Amino acid sequence: MSEPFKLTRRAALAGAAGLGLAASACSREEPRFEARPPADGPFKHGVASGDPDQGSVMLWTAVTSETLDAPVRVELAEDESFTSIVLAAEAAPAAVTVNDMTPFKLLADGLQPGRDYWYRFSFGDAVSETGRTRTLPDGAVDRFNIAAFSCSNYPAGFFNAYRAAAERGDIDLVLHLGDYIYEYGRGGYAMDDDERLGRVVEPPHEIVTYEDYVTRYAQYGADPDLKALKAAAPWLTIWDDHETANNAHLTGAENHDPDQGEGAWSDRVDAALRAYYGWLPVREPQDRRARYGALEIGDLATLIFLESRLLARSDEMTLEDFPVPLDSDPDDPQIQETVRNWLELRVGGEDRTLLGAEQFDFVVRTLEQSAAAGKPWRIFANQVLMGSATAPDYTKEPPLWLRWGMRMVGGDVWEFAQQTRFGVPMTLDTWDGFPAERERLFEAARAANADFIVLTGDSHNFWTVDLQTEAGDRVGVEFGVTSVTSPSDYEFVNAPSVDFGQMTVQTNPHILHHSVYAKGYVLLTLTPDEAIADFVSVSTIKDTAFDVGLDSRWRVTPARGGPVAKVERVS
């Protein structure tokens, strides 16, 4: 989470303009859950598979043992009973041992496209649980299910969204859009309930070294709900910022201070990525920062996954250098011109980039090739909100009592509210901080007749956004994926009767839906004739007993020769 009330990342409502009026409204009642005991034996972190293609998939486990006095072997079979074994091999250590924990990987190749496989690891007499994986399909595809997640903060609550998806049994690919872990130490972001819930972070300090990151990944990896989903389906993961540090970019991060003993940024990134590639079922590129690419889902879809933090991202820009005094008249033409020039020439500078030239060219070529191949769908796995989102005027839109409260709180809270009078973006940490590059991407997609669907994490909210060029031409639709556990900024405002999402929609006609409180995931079901996005919600993250609900359901129909696909709410 960004520093409160800075118009960067998490400050979509300036800390929900949370305005610091009240503490989080989360219940302080004693939990009803019973803590699950840790797993016994050497396979405490379960099994996982990831980065599938038509003929291969990465298999992963970790072994906890004082000595590695026996080989770690893996079996892959065409059936759950392992009567038809197609691969039996020895896995290799994937990273340096930390606290007697060693991750292992094996790339299983020579597989058949579009089919299920089951796998398990062994170490001495110990055998792991069985995992299910699936290769990507080739040729004609009738249906493909993607479950998309983001922002899983261990101390904030239970990973019920993972459990809900794991129990479905029909997911072809799990897509994690970033913030798989968080870097903060005890007393940091979203830790009010950590001790009560039995979810105190390890190590207790902010993670900076390789050993720190490994310890945090291991703690997450031992969570039973996360383990269940890792064993249920293959994963594709991309990182956002908290896999390194909050508001990360090419040369630093908001939550990295070399003058406070945190060392050089490049060293921290190296430590974080070594742990990332070791503790997740992913293929490692030659340049560790260059984790972007595309998956082909038969004749149905192309899935493009982006890297927008560590490879090329320009330095963070905020509204701390806002170009006019906050008490200026927003209706003054000269003031309007100054703000407009700042947004267009500084924030919108042509040299500002999220992707970098090489990745941008790759994305455009992939869009062109997918459209030329006649595939109905192009899907982006994307870290931060791609569509534009102008902040509502929080000096006018909230009810009088809340506006009064913001003024009384003063400080950063009231400063942000005043800034929203000038028509500024909700945050500059999204593609709104890089509008020139976004426009080039949208125009390239239009030129290729390559409309697309975007799955986006980061915001801790559900969104449906009609994506448009600056001229108002539609290019696709974006589905914002809410968090697994991380709190929405709006949860810090004790104002349950205030519909902040509706304020967003009223200010931004191209934003069709903004749900600010739900926790869960998005299930995207692709068929040749339609894409259905279910915004799946869980009733609580503060208890292991929960119900599964539906925030909303959206249908996208292919362009079929028209300019762009159509999106509509169906539930």
Is residue 448 within 8 Å of 371, Cβ to Cβ? Answer: yes
CA nearest neighbour of 10 among 179, 145, 223? 179
Distance CA 181, CA 153 (A): 6
3-class secondary structure per residue, 75-130: EEECCCCCCCEEEEEECEECCCCECCEEEEEEEECCCCCCCEEEEEEEECCEECCC
> How far is residue 567 from each of residues 29, 182, 377, 431, measured CA to CA in Å?
41, 34, 13, 21
Contact between 351 and 289 under an 8 Å Cβ cutoff? The reply is no
Instruction: Find how far residue 117's CA is from the centre of its chain.
Output: 27
pLDDT at 337: 97
pLDDT of residue 70: 96
7, pLDDT greater than 90: no
Looking at residue 16, what is its pLDDT? 38
107-149 per-position pLDDT tens digit: 999 999 999 999 999 999 999 999 999 999 999 999 999 999 9
**pLDDT for 493:** 82
Give pLDDT, residue 406: 87
Q: How far apart are CA 461 and CA 151, in angstroms?
A: 10
Query: Is the pTM of the predicted complex or chain greater than 0.75?
Result: yes
* Residue 6 banded pLDDT, cuts 50, 70, 90: very low
Share of the chain above pLDDT 70, in %: 93
pLDDT at 30: 54
CA distances from 47 to 61, 238, 285 (A): 5, 19, 22
- The encoded tokens of residue 87 equal 């691969």
Average pLDDT over residues 218-223: 98
* DSSP 8-state secondary structure symbol assigned to residue 347: I
pLDDT for residue 27 is more than 60: no
Q: Which amino acid is at 82?
A: F
Task: Supply the Cα-derived Rg of the chain in whole angstroms.
Answer: 23
Which residue has 């003031």 as its token pair?
335
Cα dihedral sign, 275-278-281-286: positive
Instruction: Quote the CA–CA distance of 280 and 301 in Å, as a whole number.
Output: 25
Domain ranges of the chain: 47-569
Could you report the per-residue pLDDT of 291-304, keeping only the tens digit for each?
999 999 999 999 99
Whole-number pLDDT of residue 32: 53
Instruction: Pick one of 3.40.640.10, 2.60.40.1930, 3.40.50.620, 3.60.21.70 as the CATH number of 47-569.
Output: 3.60.21.70
pLDDT beyond 60 at 159: yes
- Taking alpha carbons only, the member of 69, 54, 66 closest to residue 108 is 54
What is the spatial distance between Cα 159 and Cα 501, in angstroms, rounded to a whole number?
Answer: 24
Residue type, 278: G
Instruction: Supply the pLDDT for residue 216.
Output: 98
> Which of 269-273, 405-409, 438-442, 445-449 is the least confident region?
405-409
The whole-angstrom separation of Cα 243 and Cα 457 is: 14
pLDDT digits (tens, 9 = 90+) for 286-340: 999 999 999 999 999 999 999 999 999 999 887 678 999 999 999 999 999 999 9
Give yes or no for residue 15 having a pLDDT over 70. Answer: no
Q: In the predicted model, what is the mean pLDDT of residues 523-527?
A: 98
Question: At a CB cut-off of 8 Å and minimum separation 6, what does 286 contact?
Answer: none
Averaged pLDDT score across all residues of the chain? 93
| Average pLDDT rounded to a whole number, residues 365-369 | 98
The pLDDT tens digits of the residues spanning 263-287 come to 999 999 999 999 999 999 999 999 9
Distance, in Å, from the CA atom of 489 to the CA atom of 14, rounded to the nearest integer, reads 8
pLDDT (0 to 100) of residue 34: 56
Token couple for 49: 């598979």
More confident residue, 220 or 490: 220
Q: What percent of the chain has pLDDT over 90?
A: 87
The contacts of residue 27 (CB under 8 Å, 6+ apart) are: 542
Averaged pLDDT, 164-174: 97
Residue 76's closest CA among 67, 85, 68? 85
List Cβ<8 Å contacts ≥24 apart for 433-439. Answer: 433/317, 433/347, 433/352, 434/314, 434/352, 434/353, 434/354, 435/343, 435/347, 435/348, 435/388, 435/470, 436/348, 436/349, 436/350, 436/352, 437/352, 437/353, 437/354, 437/355, 437/360, 438/386, 439/469, 439/470
Strands 144-149 and 519-526, sheet pairing: antiparallel
Find the Cα–Cα–Cα–Cα dihedral 62, 65, 68, 69, rounded to 10°: -130
Lowest mean pLDDT among 314-318, 396-400, 466-470: 314-318
Lay out the sheet containing 47-50: strands in order across: 92-93, 101-108, 57-64, 47-50, 235-237, 173-176, 144-149, 519-526, 531-538, 548-557, 566-569
- Judged against a pLDDT cut of 70, whether residue 2 lies above it is answered with no
- Give me the pLDDT at residue 566, please: 87
Q: Which residue, 445, 346, 347, 335, is CA-closest to 388? A: 347
Contact 234, 173 (CB under 8 A): yes
What is the per-residue pLDDT for 302? Answer: 98
